[in-house]
Homo-oligomer: A and B are copies of this chain.
């Protein structure tokens, strides 16, 4: 971790998930003021939105939400429809893939940031665990940063504190920040269960991260 970034306000794309809460913690440590920005996009699991709200209240972080019904209009996929969930491999995109999702999220976040007079945007994309999503890679983020800056004649910065961290390293980062207990409220389970199922690909990936870090997950499992 580098030292605090010497700017004022940041807009943090915040879903309420484990990674999301980790980079929210990072942002709170690095900016004077943080606004959490949450998309309500017909996620299969409203529990994610409920937990996002709960975490923001718990941390006294201002939250802005935007309702978008774009993805259900764009494509059939298992994050917004009841299709079978298949984990991704290097050669095949996972069924939860919404092509261009981060492209759309970052475009909207940039427009929102402009409206709020904010130049720093934080997103938790991660090249290490990117599971075949091209819009989680650093070359996309760098290009996007330039594009949003040109689009509104404003020098935006996109921060990606998790870009090169493994799941285990993200857990260790939270431990270093003294915020491990925040992960108790984060939603990960693809099945939308709370306590979490502990068996779906998302739960297994989460548990693997804690195992790598040698730290006990504070989340309740069934």
Which residue numbers of A lie inside 8 Å of B, CB to CB?
A: 66-70, 73-75, 98-104, 107-108, 110-112, 114-115, 134-135, 137, 139-140, 143-144, 146-148, 150-153
Q: Which residues of B contact A103 (CB under 8 A)?
A: 107, 110-111, 147-148, 151-152
Q: Flag if B153 contacts A134 (CB, 8 Å).
A: yes
Q: Which residues of B contact A69 (CB under 8 A)?
A: 67
Q: Flag if A111 contacts B104 (CB, 8 Å).
A: yes
Q: Which residue of B lies closest to A149 (CB)?
A: B143
A103–B98 alpha-carbon span in the complex (Å): 18
Of B99, B104, B152, which contacts A134 at CB under 8 A?
Answer: B152
Q: Which residue of B lies closest to A98 (CB)?
A: B111
21 contacts between A and B (CB under 8 A): A66-B70, A66-B73, A67-B73, A68-B68, A74-B111, A74-B115, A75-B115, A99-B111, A99-B114, A100-B110, A102-B151, A103-B107, A103-B148, A107-B107, A134-B150, A134-B152, A140-B147, A140-B150, A143-B146, A143-B147, A143-B150
CB distance from A99 to the nearest CB of B (A): 5
Q: Flag if B143 contacts A112 (CB, 8 Å).
A: no
A201–B200 alpha-carbon span in the complex (Å): 58
Q: Which residues of B contact A151 (CB under 8 A)?
A: 100, 102-103, 134-135, 140, 144
Q: Flag if A99 contacts B70 (CB, 8 Å).
A: no
Q: Which residue of B lies closest to A103 (CB)?
A: B151
A73–B66 alpha-carbon span in the complex (Å): 7
Q: Flag if A68 contacts B70 (CB, 8 Å).
A: yes
Given the interface contacts A112-B74, A140-B150, A150-B140, does A104 sit within 8 Å of B107 by beta carbon? yes
